[in-house]
Each structure stands twice: as structure tokens, then as C-alpha cells.
A and B are shown apart, each in its own frame.
Chain A
Amino acid sequence: MSELHLPWLAASLVFSLLGAAWVACVRDPRLARQWSLIFSGLTLLTAVGAWLDFDLLATNEAIGYGHLQTQWFGREFFVIDRLSAPLLPLVALLHFLTALTTLNTKVRRFSFVSALISEAILLATICCREPWIVIGLLAAGTVRPYLDLRTRGQPTRVYVIYMAAYVLLMVAGWSIVEMEGQDQAHSLWAVVPLLVAVFIRSGIAPFHSWMLDLFDRSTLGSALLFVAPLTGAYAAVRLLLPIAPDWVLRSIGLVSLFTAVYAAGMALIQRDARRFFCFLFLSHSALVLVGLEMGTPRLSSPIGLTGGLCVWLSIGLSLGGFGLTLRALEARRGRLKLTEFQGLYEHTPTLAVCFLLTGLGSVGFPGTLGFVGTEMLIDGAVETYPYIGVAVVIAAALNGIAVVQAYFRLFTGTRYSSSVSLQIGERERFGVLLLAALILIGGIFPQQGILSRYRAAEELRQQHTEDANETTSSEPEQGHKH
């Protein structure tokens, strides 16, 4: 037991919930932002503490930090394992940066209270392995964007249809899984609802339309926080992959490959910056699912799975930063059209660099966080699907073109003349530099990050192998009974 072994996770949950309660009592929006920054900063620090404590000092086993939970409930619901350890600081960082880069002109529209609550829900989701609690938290996470749409007076029909289907399918699927018990291969009635639920939440074609609608109608910050941590991928890891048969896994891989290319192509032709970002995100989100599906016992590709987990982190950070840059630009120019040159480079060269860096980071450009992860993902995809796996390369190529095209659209052209200064503020500069530093340092020194994801991949594969063995060993017994 190390001296640093503190209830970091509990602290981060408490800070975000306490922060939400505190900020709710503050009337002045600017003061609310300041308090929100303090609490989300504390949450970030404790989340980083949880990660470091686990990664540097803990053993290979998943370790619970819930001594209080044990005392109160008799069991531990929230544990940190190798998969979730780095996702905690990622989620906390995205929330912190979103609060940090919210400009004075937008503080009234952005709800810091609900951001802190959704942060607590997300952190709890990532650290939970109990299927029903995961489902409950995933369902609770869908409320905030709905409230945001309502507050803005936007239609909620599309979002409600998709999210209701998502939650119902999860509940129905897992209910059937429980009814069938753990000692037999699960039927399609159990697997298919969970599969579709994962597809909906991850935005896999053709179940992705809600994300376009959300990005179109919601505030960019709240939509970003809802999708960037890739909660759908987490649902796949916890609910679907352990029980899905081989052909389902293959179909997940193939549909995700198709989505990666389709969304990359769609990103290329978009004329609205938000829709462009949404398709870019969908393409990357599908790539993560491709990687996750490759780590299952029968399609065993530890490299592909490691690549998928690396890409999960890198796109969380890169595309999170990319979205925040877009949000900063929108705060200056309103909704951005990609049909004309915006000429913003001279006003905000630092944002231009950040836009390019985060965009290229997401497509795995050399020297950035995603480079080695993308290479590994492609390696695994080509190994698992010798010909179709090339789709990952095509998707990466198209995404690269789309990112540079958007950069040219937004930052080049005749200098935009403005009566007010559009220069980057100090808080934004700090956010941009922090992101750039993380993306570049992670890219130049990738060993620790990749090793950590490899261990997470091994842990996941081990779990899947155990699950598969349990099912396989119980099947003859059943046959014997019949």
C-alpha cells in the first residue's frame, strides 16, 4: 500500500457534485464561471491523481477506491482499472478546458452547473463495471443535452427518439442477458438490442443522425462534452463485447470500417463547420470501435486493440481540442460556413496553429499523440481484415484532406475586417498551449502512453477470454442436459 493511495476518485466525484451545488447558488454568470473553473480544476487534479496513483503505484489488478462505498453499500461499485485510469483525466480536462475557454459573451448561454453534473456522471460511468449501474449512468448522461436543447428553445424530437431507443435497447438487451444467465451463449434477442444501442451512441451509420441534429441545435460546448469522451465505446466494452458472438464482432468491425470511410467522405463535402466537425468525429469514433472489436479472443489482435485504445485517447484530446478551437472561432464570428474564406489567420494565428495541430493530431500525423496509435490500429485492421482493413488508411487520408480544407476555409482568404479585436485571450491561450503541449509531448514520447494502453488491452483480452471460456465450458453441459 502506497502513501499516495487516497480516495482520488471519490474526491473528484465529490468536487464536481459539490461544485455543481455551489455554482447553482451563484447568480452572476462570470462569478459562476470562476467557481466552475475552481471546482473543475480540483476535479481535474484529483482525476490526474487517481490516474498517477493507479498507473505508477498500483498493481496490475483493478483497484477499488471505494472504502466508503464498502462501508455504506457493502460492495464497491466504482473501481479504476487500466482502461479507465487515463480516461478520468481526459474527461476532467475536457470539462475544465470547456469552462476555461468560455468567453464572457457566452457565459449566460453555457450552463456551468449542468456541465459539472455531467462531468460527475461521466466520471462515475467510466469507473463503473456493474452493468445496471453503467446503463443507469449512461441513461442519466443523456439528460443534459436534452435540457440544453429545451433551454435554447430548439426542437428535441430527433434527439429524444434516438436517445429513448438507445436507453430502451440497453435495458431490454441486458434484461434478456440476465434472463438467459451467464452459463450459455447469448441469443440474438439479447445481443442485437445491445449492438444497436452501441451503434446509436457511437454514431455508427445509419444510426448517427441524432449527432448531426445535436451539433446543429445545441451549444457547441455541450454537444462536444457529450460526444468527445466516446461513451458509446465504453458501453461497447462493458456491455457488448464480453457477450457478443464472433459474427457480431465481425459485423461491428465491418460496419465501423464503412462508417469511418463514409463519415470521412461526408466531412469532405460539408459546408457548415459544425456538420464538418460532427462527421470528422463520427469517422474517428468508428475507428475506435474497429480497434476495440479486434481485441476479442477470436479476432485476437492485441496490436489492433492497443491501437484502438490509443486512438480513443488521442481523438478525445485532439478532437476535443479541435472542437474547442472551433467553438472559440464561433464565439468571434458566429456560425461558420465553409463555403467562403473567413480570413481569420491574421486575427488569431495561435488558434490557427491549434486548429491545424489538433486536426492533424486526430488523423495521426507524425509527431502528434495519435501517430503511433493510428499506425497500430491500421496494422491490426490489415491483419484482421487483409483487404477491407485498408479502409482505415482511406479514412485517415480523407480525414486529413478534410482537416486541411477546413483550415484553409477558416483561416485563409482576405483578412476579415472587424471593429473589435478578435485576438485570443489569456485563458484561451493557456488552453491552447496546454493542448498543444499534451499532443506534442504525447507524440514525441509515446512509449509510456502506448505501454499503458497495451496493458489495458491485455487486461480487456484476458477478461474477454475468461468470459468466452465460461460460456464455452458451460455449453457441453447444457447439451448434455438436453
Chain B
Amino acid sequence: MPDSTNVMTALGLIVVAAPVLQFGILGGSSLIDRRLSERATMRLIQTATGAGLLAAVALLALMLPQSNPHVPIRLGNWVDIPHYHFSIKFVFDRLSVPFVILSYVLCGVISAFASNYMHREPGYNRFFVFYSLFLLGMVVTSLAGTIETLFAGWELVGLSSALLVAFFQERPAPVRNGLRVWSVYRVSDAALLIAALTLHHMTGEGDFDKLMGTASWPYGHASVAAREALAVGLLLLLAAAGKSALVPFSGWLPRAMEGPTPSSAVFYGALSVHLGAFLLLRVGPLLECSAALCAAVVALGLVTAFYAAVTARAQTDIKSALCFASLTQVGIIVAEIGFGLRYIPLIHILGHGCLRTLQFVRAPTLLQDYRQLENAIGDSLPRRSGFWERWLPERFRMWLYRFAIERGYLDACLNDYIAAPILRVFQWCDGLEQRWLRLLSGEPSDEAVSPGKSARSLDDLL
């Protein structure tokens, strides 16, 4: 009779190895220009996703009877030199197992959907390479036992998301939006990296078990002073805000809908938009060390929920409306975390992810649904005026409408007050550099760069 710990370790390894193999085979074959056929690609994905999912469910079944479900799997030190080690550790607990199962279920469903949706598309292979990278990133992030491992998965998710948004690369708009997503993600990555380093220097550890106490999630306790917790926590909150499109980074979420519907559904509606909330759940014990930090989390969550709820009402296309509806729920989830709840936000994530995936996948046929409804009732669908429509003054409603249709001016603010000044400074320096070179080389100034003609935002650059 095999030892249950060994069985769980073996199952855990399957959960991690399945997406690695899937990405390795798909990416490797593309790199050497020996692309798999559509059928072979789909079989590989079904096999890998199925194996990973079954192993995760089996692990959950083995963990359920345990009073303290916490299965760490150490793959040893990836790098081990004096004064520094980088260990790879995965943790299966009450937080990671549901999240990884959600990732497998939704990615599996969407891969089946996408096999038809993307059939004979020129970028079929490319889509599934990015998709595999995304799944790998999600699994690594969900199961990460150290903050460095989480960071690695976090970056994989970011890159695959940006490339998927820019999937229809013949048109400029998806590419611009892909770059926007990538830029926000890089800010988020930088914040996470600084937070990880600060935690390392404060506690000498990057291991969640040691950072957040030895008790399994959510009963850990971080031994960090309130002030330090606030500093690191705010960085983590910034990282979460970028990843989950919380205010003021919400502008990238509707832009991400330029990608193929399957990727929008699973990534921005269901999984990657919840990663920020997942991070906050993972570092929950740290949040509990500082009341001010909890207040900041609640405030950001509520502001995002309110903003998204208002903005969703003025959207004119179904995918944008759905993504803001999704963001409303994410804001509420973040607020729940700030209030000190742990299981409720987790359940909220699981339920919301599944529901939103279904809605996104159904989105392309919504017009057909409406048409059928109208045919059935023989008239156009009735439009009811809302509660606020009756009670709010006309002028305020108009202002609110403009605010919603412009998506809270968040993108404009980030462009005008953050990106543009920075770019202008660099463009001014570039002009100086060119003048200096012309002066040295004694050439006439025939290519003077006028700051007035320069790009004002990242969008202008592309």
C-alpha cells in the first residue's frame, strides 16, 4: 500500500508537469517549424489538461479528510550558492487546489470551444502556444510556495495575455491594446518584484510557509510589524491592482477584449482578472498585520466596484459590458478580502469565474438570442427605466453618462499625467542627443526632432 504522502506528491507533480509538457511540445515543435496538426494539437491539450485536472481532483479528494490540508512539494533548490538560493516549491492547500482546479476546468472547456472557434484560422497553432503558456503561468502562480515562484508564473501569465490580446496582429488596434496590457502588467510585475525583495530583506525568506506562518491557509500569522506590513502590502496591492484591472488600471480590461473570444472569456473574464485577488488572499496574514492596509484594500475594492458598475451601464458592445460587470465583482471580492474574509472571496472567485466564462462564450450569439426572443414575443424587447434614472437630476445623469462612456477618464489620466510627461522628457533628451551628435560630427541639422511632433502616449508610439 503506497504511502498517502507519496501518492499526493506524485499527483502534485502531475498537476505541475502536465502544462509544462504541453507548452514544451507545442512551443518546441513551432520553434523548429514542425507544427502539429489541429487534431494532434487538440489531443495533446485534452490529454495534458485532463491529466492535470484529474490529478488535482484526486489530490483534493485525498486532502479533504485531513484536518490540516497542506501538501508542500519541494522540487529542490533551482539555484543554490552561498548567501542565495532559489527554491522551487509548490503548495497544495485550501486556496491553491480550488484555484488550480478552476484553471484546469475553464482552460479545458475553453480549449474545446476554441478548437472549433479557431478551426482553420492561420494563427491556430500560435493561439494554442500562447494558451499553453497561459495555463502554465496560471498553474505555477496558483501553486507557488515561494514568492519567487509566484513571480515567475505571474510574468508568464502577463506575456501570454499581452500576446493573445494582440492575436489578430494584422490590425493595429489589437496590437496597440496588447502593448497597453503589457505595459500595465510590467508595472504590476515591478511592484511585485520590489515587494518580494522587501519581504526577503525583512524576514530573510521568500517561502510563504515561513512568511505567513506555519499554519495552513487561511490560519497563518505573519510576524511583521504593522509599518513594514503596510509598506510591503501597498506594493502588493499595486501589483494586484495592475493584474486585476482595479482602479486606476481598469482601462486595459476592455482593451483586452480585442483578442479572440475564447481567450477573452477564460483569461480576462475568469482567470487572470482574479489573479490580483488571489495574490491578496495568499498574503492574507500580512494584510491582517495592518489595519490601514486592510482599509486601503477595502477602499480600492469598493471604488473599483462602483466605477465598474457605473461604467458597465454605458457600454455599447457586449464584451465591454461583460468585462466591466466582471470588474464589479472583482472589486467586491477585493473588498471582501480587505474586510478579513477568506473563504467567501474564494467561493466568490470560483462561482464568478464559471458564470462569466459561460457569458463570454455565449456573447457572440447574444444578438441571435435577442432576435429569437423578439420573434417569440412579436415585438421589440421592453426597456424599463431604472431606479436612478427616475431619481437623479438630468444634469447629473448626463455627467454620469459621459463619465461612464469615457470609462472614468482613467486611460486619459494615465496618458496625460503619467505616460506623456515621462515620454516628453525622454523625447526632449533625444532631441538634445541628436543635436550633440550633429555638433560633434559637423553635419547640418536636417533631421531636427520637434518635441511638438512627438508621441504623447504609448498609443501614439504604436
Contacts and interface: CB of A to CB of B under 8 A. Distances in A.
A345 interface: yes
Interface string B145-165: 000100111011001001000
Interface residues of B, number: 60
- Kindly state the interface size class of chain A when it binds its partner: 35 or more
Interface of B: 30-33, 77-84, 86, 122, 148, 151-153, 155-156, 159, 162, 166, 169-170, 172, 175, 178-179, 182-183, 186-187, 189-190, 193-194, 197-198, 200-201, 422-423, 425-427, 429-430, 433, 436-437, 440-443, 454-455, 458, 461-462
Interface in A366-399: 366-367, 371-372, 375-376, 378-379, 382-383, 390, 393-394, 396-398
A397 B81 contact: no
A155 B443 contact: yes
A187 B79 CA distance: 41
A266 B429 contact: yes
Given A412-B169, A436-B31, A400 B186 contact: yes
A349 B32 CA distance: 10
A446 B442 CA distance: 48
Contact of B159 (A365, A372, A450): A365
A268 interface: yes
Top 6 A-B residue pairs of the complex, sorted by shortest distance between their CB atoms: A412-B169, A366-B152, A397-B190, A454-B81, A397-B186, A265-B426
A447 B189 contact: no
B136 to A, nearest CB: 9
Given A382-B201, A413-B169, A433-B31, A209 B433 contact: yes
A405 interface: yes
Q: Which of A270, A397, A413, A415 has the most CB of B within 10 A?
A: A397
Nearest to A446: B79
Contact of B155 (A345, A366, A412): A366
A118 to B, nearest CB: 24
Contact of B170 (A365, A405, A414, A447): A414
Q: Which of B77, B425, B427, B461 has the most CB of A within 10 A?
A: B461
Given A366-B152, A413-B172, A447 B440 contact: no
Contacts of B152: 366-367, 371
A318 to B, nearest CB: 16
A401 interface: yes
Interface string A408-432: 1101111100000000000001000
The secondary-structure label for the interface of chain B is: helix
A451 B84 CA distance: 11
B352 to A, nearest CB: 28
A16 interface: no
B84 A379 contact: yes
A441 B439 CA distance: 46
B242 to A, nearest CB: 11
A436 B32 CA distance: 10
Contacts of A365: 155, 159
A397 B175 contact: no
Contacts of B183: 401
B197 A405 contact: no
B81 A412 contact: no
Contact of A209 (B32, B194, B423, B436): B436
